[in-house]
Amino acid sequence: MTLRDAVPYVAAAYLAVWVVVLLYVGIIGRKLGRIERQLDELAPPSGDGERQP
C-alpha cells in the first residue's frame, strides 16, 4: 500500500480514538457538573468550624 493510500486509514484510526475519548470526557464532565450542582443545592450545612457563635 502506498503512502497516499495508507494516510486515510491512519487518519481514521487516530481520529476515531480522539472522537471517542473526547465524547467520553464530555459526557462524564457534563454528568459530574450536573451532580455537583445538585449536591451544592442539597448539601447539609458544613462543620462546626463555620458556625457563628
Partner 1 sequence: MRALGRPSTTVPLILSLILVPLTVVLAFWWTGDDVDQGFSQKIFYLHVPVALASYAAFGYGAVCAALYLWRRDPEWDLRSYVGVHSGTIFGTLVLLTGPIWAKASWGVWWNWGDRQINVFLILFLYYCAYFMLRFSLDEGERRRSASAVYALLGVGLIPLSFLAVRIAETLIHPTVFTSSGAAMPDTFFLTFLVGLAGMLSLMALLMSVELRGKRAAARLVEYQRAARGEDA
Nearer to partner 1, 13 or 52 (CB): 13
Q: Does 22 bind partner 1 (CB under 8 A)?
A: no
DSSP labels for 4-24?
HHHHHHHHHHHHHHHHHHHHH
Q: Is 38 in the site for partner 1 (CB under 8 A)?
A: yes
Half-sphere exposure of 34 (CA within 13 A, CB side): 6
Contacts with partner 1 by CB under 8 A lie at 1-3, 5-7, 9-10, 12-14, 16-17, 20-21, 24-25, 28-29, 31-32, 35-36, 38-39, 42-44
